[in-house]
Chain A
Amino acid sequence: MSAGQFIRVRGQVQGVGFRPFVWQLAREMGLTGRVWNDPGGVGIEVWGEDIDAFAAALRARAPLLARVDAVEAGPLDGPAPPGFAILESRGQGAETRVTPDAATCPDCAAEIRSPGRRQGYAFTNCTHCGPRFSILRCLPYDRAQTTMAAFPMCPDCRADYENPADRRFHAQPVACPACGPRLWYEVAGDKKPGDPVAQAVAELRRGGVVAVKGLGGFHLACDAANPQALALLRARKHRPAKPFALMAAEAALHGIAALTPADLALLRDPAAPVVLVASRAVLPDAVAPGMACLGVMLPYTPLHHLLLHAFGGVLVMTSGNLSGEPQVVGNAEARDKLAAFADGFLMHDRDIARRLDDSVERAAPPMVLRRARGRVPGVLPLPPGFPDRQVLATGGQMKGAICLVKNGQALLGHHLGDLTDALSVDEFHKALVDYAALFDHRPTLAACDLHPDFVATRAAQATGLPLVRVQHHHAHLAACLGENLWPLEGGPVAGIVLDGLGLGPDGTVWGGELLLGDYTGFDRAAHLRPAALPGGDAASRQPWRNAVMRLDQAGLAPLADRLFAGQPVAALRAMAAGGVNAPLSSSAGRLFDAVAACLGLAAAAQSHEGEAAMRLEALAGPPGQGYPFGPGLDPAPMFRALAQDLADGVPPATISARFHDGLAAAFAAPARDLVAQGRAWAVALSGGCLQNARLHHALLAALDGVPVLTHRTTPANDGGLAFGQALVALAQGAG
């Protein structure tokens, strides 16, 4: 007679079809028992032969959206029941998790193309795909708590939902044309009769702009191959140069981008992020002016599949918003705000409960530039050694994202946008309340940046909790360590943090740093020689300002005069000399801007954040010998070599490559020394400049043979800041 076993499965195992999977597995293997959800994850009692094989299969054959962190088994007394049953949830706080939204699975994608009741249905989904976090109003994750509550299931859908053998068993958003959300096309407030998708496609073919209601917000779509349509959309959005995200079916993508196997794997991930891929330069340049990369994604909702199938080509899918504001989510809001941008609206009546931008990622080197739809609310495990304490960290300013720590896990919230915008600030405050409720979070410690005027800093102060103020680049370093599960007592590392700006404890502005330390503290081992930042934020918007300061510093004032003859160079120098709104800064981002400006890239003003640096990266030729930096990470010798190259007519691609390689070598050398001397165990790479794949590769090459930690699933930019802040607070607050 076979003994029973109790099996506990931990991880992302709720709301992903895990119980029916267990049920089917048990039946297949001739086992009896029961399965349920509870606060610990999934609990299983099982009787029969070869339970070990069953436990192994739980991991090996887990459903698409499941992530199994642990399978723990123990003996169980009692008689075996006759069959295998799926039980209701047990215990308070069950269904504590909701998984991220997932792209339409292959089965559902095939179903909408095949005869049947869901043929052509834009809201088809199943346990392996569909909306989750974006439709959730509050936990537990049941249909009644989602925006699907407005759509009572028809008998057919209910039968699917209740059948453990169906892939829609307990799929909360299950729907069909008889009972689910409806799609329509409207122009100037009038719903148009007829096929909504066909009408939208007709408008797109005419070169118009269509607002499309997606999963986490509205997009503005236009034909990516039509230069007039691109010009129209850019003019209406007041967005002259910022690259547009594109969407196309996989077959069409191959025509516009050189996709590697890694790119394809990332594109096909259920998160369906925008992936930065090498452009084949066949689309008009206006799609992404001056860029060597395109941001592309696959259709991730049935509506996208229907739209792209009918359209056939490549669509721009840029976020539907007023300049600087968050994406529009409501129908009324869309009619109000997007009327000036869109010639028609492809809309539906399923509300979006939570605004989620598209995530933006790169496959090689793996990195996340924006963490939102499809990734959130995924959790990150804490590294070993951290105390069990609930912490709230509020993050940075330009890429708002908060982080909650509880039960040994960190929840890094979704991208909230630039917190100088009032609606983004509303989203931020909403997120504080929303995440706290969703995760039953009761922090006893808060963490924030050193900057006194960040909205996030004020919010952290307003909690009234004990507060740890974390230096910006220390937080970047800690985020990188944390993602790599570097133990609390793992010892010091050398952190190369190449970033825009962050306030230092000395009142100057940091950003090109070699920090030696860990979660608890750090020394500023080295940093770029500071230069004035004349005009503060104006220097971040106008690259020429940084070029003048760096060229002057290198004894190249006449070159600065020549390159920037049309600018108020004298006033700039006077500001720097007189200390009027000209803080000293070791920013690496501004060094990129300075070099870009010397090459005439966005020199007078950037039309969007990072434009100059992105164009400089796009230009860079193959690796080679970099420009020299002086002692104390002084870029003056670099600028003198660059000036000579300019005089000699060396191509900009070579100049850009020499800069990237020189900067990487300049930081890698002292970091290697720290490791060689036994003062650091590894080198960590972080900061917004690490989004630059060319620099990233150059650093990895220059650090060959040394253990290197990089960001792969959390942003190296300020989107990951809150995670680092939380870890520093936890480390410091523990003492």
Chain B
Amino acid sequence: MALRDTHVTLAHGGGGRAMRDLIDEVFTAVFQPPGTEDQARLMTAALQEPGARLAFTTDSFVVTPLEFPGGDIGTLAVCGTVNDLAVGGARPLWLSAAFIIEEGCEIALLRRIVASMAAEAAKAGVRIVTGDTKVVERGKADRVFITTAGVGVIPAGVELGVAQIRPGDAVIVNGVLGDHGAAILAARGDLALSVDLASDCAGLGHLMQAALAAAPGLHAARDCTRGGLASALNEMAAEAGVAVEIDETRLPLRPEVVGVCEILGLDPLYLANEGRLVLFCPEDQAPGLLAALRSLPEGAGAVQIGRALPGPAGRVTLRTAFGGARIVDMLVGEQLPRIC
């Protein structure tokens, strides 16, 4: 073991021996990239099938706290990018990972994060094939930031996109909403919230493959991350030129999440998720799709929450328990008070 330090210093970013040791021991040894060159060299057989398309995406991850019940920033960095690929209908293949590390970050923490990434990548069937590290002075970052990019392949015949959405489509989610956002808030020890909640963080590649197999007519899918289900539905409704109505009584919400939201005054529809997606499919394929989703652990809580309507284009409403319909808007920023 060449790496003796317990904390990252500026020397670990200096390009010399310390950096080499950190990369070799903390990152490369775990991710096991195939070559020694500065770039990954990848077999493209999957891409050569007629009609197949390359999918390519990138995402950056910052989260406080870095470790929380149900995962850590490493889990997010893999799942987030895998899910971006998956909801487009792609089979995720390869990832890159770049780390911005704050001087003073504990190396043990880095090891735990990297282990999470490796485990999550293995589950998702993707390989982390290239990476980078930079060390910045104390105060210039919050311990560690991660950027991942991902490449996958969309097989011939898979045509997912919001443009496919039609009025009448069933709107389906794969499980309870808001667990991630609520768990993160609860994990901030300063809020004095004692609830037993874990992040929903999960890779959804396999689930999407199962969905496509069961419902070939699937129109569109999107992961509900920052901004929650509300923001995902608003984007999709606007882009598709349809309205979406969801039913309050059908929303899958854990009582703990409802409780945290009540105290904090937050709307669970806007809470972040990291293992949740929303799917639009023709109504007649909804039962098959739901069955397929429920056959996998990450879709066990799948449920139809509403449907697409002809218009007004871009409007998302929540049908409440008493029968009224409330506008679920895309917010400009945070949830600001609106009651005068």
Contact = CB atoms under 8 A, between A and B. Distances in A.
Interface of A: 238, 322-325, 337, 396-399, 419-423, 425, 451-455, 472, 499-503, 509, 533-541, 568, 570-575, 577-578, 580-581, 583, 585, 589, 609, 688, 717-718
B193 interface: yes
Interface stretch (B16-24, B172-180, B220-228, B262-270): B262-270
Contact of A571 (B191, B326, B338): B191
Nearest to A476: B340
Nearest to B190: A578
B63 to A, nearest CB: 15
B322 A323 contact: yes
A609 B339 contact: yes
B265 to A, nearest CB: 3
Nearest to A454: B338
Nearest to A572: B263
A572 B260 CA distance: 11
A454 B323 CA distance: 23
A509 B326 CA distance: 24
Contacts of B317: 422
A575 B264 contact: yes
A535 B265 contact: yes
Interface stretch (B30-38, B116-124, B329-337): B329-337
A662 to B, nearest CB: 23
Given A574-B190, A575-B191, A537 B324 contact: no
**Which of B185, B192, B193, B334 is the most central at the interface, judged by chain A CB atoms within 10 Å of its CB?**
B192
Given A453-B332, A541-B339, A688-B340, A535 B322 contact: no
Contacts of B263: 535, 568, 571-572, 575
B315 interface: yes
Contacts of B335: 536-537, 581
A539 B340 contact: no
Contacts of B265: 534-539, 581
B325 interface: yes
A613 to B, nearest CB: 13
B138 interface: no
B329 A453 contact: yes
Given A323-B324, A325-B324, A452-B332, A398 B337 contact: no
B337 A421 contact: no
A238 B315 CA distance: 26
A422 B325 contact: yes
Contacts of B327: 419-422, 425, 455
B331 A502 contact: no
Given A422-B326, A425-B327, A451 B185 contact: no
B188 interface: yes
Given A399-B340, A453-B332, A575-B264, 9 more contacts: A325-B325, A421-B325, A422-B315, A422-B327, A500-B339, A537-B337, A538-B262, A572-B263, A609-B339
B202 to A, nearest CB: 26
A337 B338 CA distance: 28
Given A537-B265, A572-B263, A397 B337 contact: no
Contacts of B190: 574, 577-578
B90 to A, nearest CB: 34
A688 B339 CA distance: 12
Contacts of B338: 397-398, 420, 451, 453-454, 537
Contacts of A574: 190-193
Nearest to B321: A238
Contacts of A509: 336-337
Contacts of A420: 326-327, 338
Given A322-B324, A574-B192, A583 B264 contact: no
5 contacts: A238-B322, A323-B324, A537-B338, A540-B339, A581-B265
B191 to A, nearest CB: 5
A399 B338 CA distance: 11
B176 to A, nearest CB: 21
A537 B339 contact: yes
Nearest to B267: A537
A535 B336 contact: no
Contacts, number: 124
B262 A501 contact: no
Nearest to A323: B322
B324 A421 contact: yes
Nearest to A534: B265
Nearest to A326: B324
The DSSP consensus for interface residues of chain A is mixed
A398 B322 contact: no
The 4 closest A-B pairs by CB, nearest first: A535-B265, A538-B265, A452-B332, A422-B325
A454 B327 CA distance: 11
Contacts of A581: 264-266, 334-335
Contacts of B331: 453
A260 B117 CA distance: 77
Contacts of A568: 263
A423 B185 CA distance: 34
Contacts of A396: 340
A421 B338 CA distance: 13
A583 B336 contact: yes
Nearest to B191: A574
Interface string B262-284: 11111000000000000000000
B109 to A, nearest CB: 23
Contacts of A717: 340
Contacts of B337: 501, 509, 533, 536-537, 539-540, 583, 585
A590 to B, nearest CB: 10
Contacts of A572: 263
Contacts of A539: 265, 337
Nearest to A238: B322
A578 B324 contact: no
A534 B264 CA distance: 7
B195 to A, nearest CB: 10
Interface in B36-67: none
Given A422-B315, A539-B265, A580-B264, A500 B324 contact: no
Nearest to B339: A540
A500 B188 CA distance: 31
Given A537-B265, A578-B190, A501 B325 contact: no
B333 to A, nearest CB: 7
Interface in B282-340: 315, 317, 320, 322-327, 329, 331-340
Contacts of B191: 571, 574-575, 578, 580
Nearest to B335: A536
B106 to A, nearest CB: 24
B329 A472 contact: no
A703 B202 CA distance: 64
A419 B323 CA distance: 16
Contacts of B326: 324, 420-422
Nearest to A325: B324
A597 to B, nearest CB: 16
A452 B323 contact: no
A718 B340 contact: yes
Contacts of A589: 340
Contact of A398 (B188, B334, B340): B340
B336 A503 contact: yes
A572 B68 CA distance: 22
A452 B340 contact: no
A132 B335 CA distance: 42
Nearest to B330: A453
Nearest to B322: A323
Contacts of B193: 571, 574
A65 B236 CA distance: 51
A578 B193 CA distance: 13
A508 to B, nearest CB: 11
Given A322-B324, A574-B191, A452 B339 contact: no
A453 B336 contact: yes
A568 B261 CA distance: 12
A273 to B, nearest CB: 22
A501 B332 contact: no
A585 B340 CA distance: 12
